[in-house]
Structure 1
Amino acid sequence: MKKITLIGPIVFIILWAIISKLNIIDSFFLSNPVETFETLFLLIKSGEIIPDIIATLSRTLKAFIIAAIIGVPLGLFLGESDKIYESFEFVIDFFRSTPATALFPLFLLVFGIDDSSKIAVAAFGASLIIIFSTAYGVMNAKKSRILAAKIMGANKWQRFKHVIFWESLPETVIGLRHAISMSLIIIIVTEMFIGTNVGLGHRIIDSQYIYSIDSMYAAIIVTGILGYLLNYSLLFLERMYVHWAGK
């Protein structure tokens, strides 16, 4: 990690400490960073928060994998033909513009209140992002390279396999990065409000109910770190395997 990337977090913590010290926001609602990080250290040391991290991470990855398995092939298929994409454009944009959380009741009716409903609604929201990004990548593949492949005698499948797929990959990876963040967000929200006894979302809302503000902020920090690591892992893979993007 570059040293410059630490500037933002350090400035944030300093501002947090100043706001807390000057009591700009009542300490009942905003704990100071020292107490919060002490609580976080104790939660990690005791292992109390570890099951929550594992549960949230597991649900997020399951939702993301399902979304990728559904979203990438559908995006490739829809993006290959302007007519096909235009036929489904309204449906895609409609659901993409509708907050996945608004569909909680429907998913609860279909999947029940166990993990299935949490994973399903997160996978649904994430898959729409992947479908759109992948289709966009296919539709915006460089025409000159496609034409060159056609001139060299490549048939439609060969053009798709050797040119269009690789041209769409940068946009697909961007979609995957957004999708994994969306998966985590939806999972956290569902853990707050749909029956569960373990998970970071459950810990956040449970701490808020009992006014354990330090524990609530500690869980929020862990959630942010988890989201950053998930996003950075895909960014790392993107830099390794899609380093040629834009060249």
Structure 2
Amino acid sequence: MRRASGPLGLVLVWFLASTTGVLPESVLASPVDVVQRAADLIGTGELPQAIAASGRRAATGFLIGATVALALSLTAGLFRLGEDVIDASMGMFRAIPWVGLIPLFIVWFGIDETPKIALVALGVTYPLYFNIYGGIRSADSQLIEAGRMAGLGRIGLIRYVILPSALPGALVGLRYALSTAWLALVFAEQVNADAGIGYLMSNAQQYFQTDVIVLCLAVYAVLGLLCDFAVRLLSRRLLAWRASFDGEGA
């Protein structure tokens, strides 16, 4: 409940500013108008269809990006030659704003679904790669030595020591990657989309429908929040063995 107090307070201020006229509807629609518009779009089926289209793009891009990130991070983290070849290149490419690659993706892939999915995949790859790679390389050397003394070979060390040590970092990377996936999708769906949440936003922009724009932003936020909540639950299950600091105070 305490975590919800901040967003609820913002909605209350927004509602009061709208009802008192401090915030004109031409600038930003009221929460009541946004809720009414949501009901209308759900009734016509437009909003569920848009969410489904965006969800497919996000899921496809995430799966591609996660697969690439996992392969690269394991190669760079477990093999010295892999680190020499991959890590410096990833650091260089990370400095390039991935949003700035949209024109190049359009040249390469056209204006259909491919550049949108590619942008999401690219946005997902970096946070997952660096967190998994960092988790592998930060494995406790004393645990590795203890594993060797216990008779574990290289495969055993990787399976029972190194990968479990990298799991917390991988889950942090997963949270960042999922949030980045939705952020990338916001930009990707502005590029000649004919379906999806971004398509609704683009149409609303042309007709100055701030209620639809706010609704679409809220949908993006809720979807991202649900993904983050799912990863938190997954982390609690997978890291139940690991003591962690949960905060202090009331």
After TM superposition, the score normalised by the length of structure 2 is 0.90
- Cα shift readout 1:166-209 (whole Å, capped 9, x = no counterpart): 110110111111111111111121111x1221111111121011
Distance 1:111 1:41, change over 3 A: same
Which residue pairs with 2:235 in the alignment?
Answer: 238
Q: For 1:103, which of 101, 104, 107 is the aligned residue?
A: 101
Aligned-pair RMSD on alpha carbons? 1.8
**1:203-241 CA-partner distances (Å, limit 9, x unpaired):** 112101111111111111111111111221122212122
Between the aligned partners of 1:29 and 1:210, the Cα distance in structure 2 is 13
Distance 1:71 1:125 in 2: 11
Please show how residues 122-141 of structure 1 align to structure 2 within 5 Å. Answer: 122-141=120-139
**Helix, strand or coil for the counterpart of 2:69?**
helix
CA distance, structure 2, for counterparts of residue 237 and residue 118 of structure 1: 28
| The one of 91, 106, 113 aligned to 1:93 | 91
Decide which of 162, 165, 171 is 2:163's aligned counterpart.
165
Aligned to 2:45: 47
Q: CA offsets, 1:77-134, max 9 Å, x none?
A: 2122466435543321222232211111221122211111110121012111111110
- Matching residue's letter, 1:100: W
- Distance, in Å, in 2 between the alignment partners of 1:229 and 1:20 is 28
| Most deviating of 107-116 and 162-171 | 107-116
Match of 1:121 in 2: 119
How far the C-alpha of 1:45 sits from its partner, in A, is 2.8
CA 1:77–1:246: 2 relative to 1, 3 Å: farther
State the AA in 1 paired with 2:159: K
SS in 2 for 1:29: coil
Match of 2:202 in 1: 205
For residue 178 of structure 2, the aligned residue among 173, 177, 180 is 180
Moved more, 128-137 or 41-50: 41-50
What is the rounded CA distance, in whole Å, between the counterparts of 1:8 and 1:144 in structure 2?
44
- Opposite residue 241 of structure 1, the aligned amino acid is L
SS at 2:164's partner residue? helix
Q: Distance in 2 between matches of 1:98 and 1:82?
A: 25
- For 2:74, the equivalent position in structure 1 comes to 76
Q: Is the 8 A contact 1:55 1:199 kept in 2?
A: yes
Q: Which residue of 2 aligns with 1:5?
A: 3
CA contact (8 A) 1:96 1:129 kept: no
Return 5+ residue gaps in structure 1 as ranges: none
Say if 2:135 and 2:168, in contact at 8 Å, map to a contact too. Answer: yes
Letter in 2 for 1:229: L
Query: What is the aligned length?
Result: 244
From 226, 243, 247, give the equivalent of 2:223.
226
- TM-aligned CA distance change 1:45 to 1:240, over 3 Å: farther
Q: Tell me, yes or no, if the aligned pair for 1:56 and 1:188 is still in contact at 8 Å.
A: no
Counterpart amino acid of residue 131 in structure 1? Y
How far did residue 24 of structure 1 move?
A: 4.0
Q: How far off its partner does 1:144 sit?
A: 1.6
* Counterpart AA for 2:217: I
Residue pair 1:126, 1:183 contacting (<8 A) in 2 also: yes
SS at match of 1:49: helix
Q: TM-score normalized by structure 1?
A: 0.92
**Partner of 1:28 in structure 2?**
26
Contact 2:72/2:86 (8 A) holds in 1 = no
Q: Deviations over 1:48-72 (max 9, x none)?
A: 2111000001100111111111111
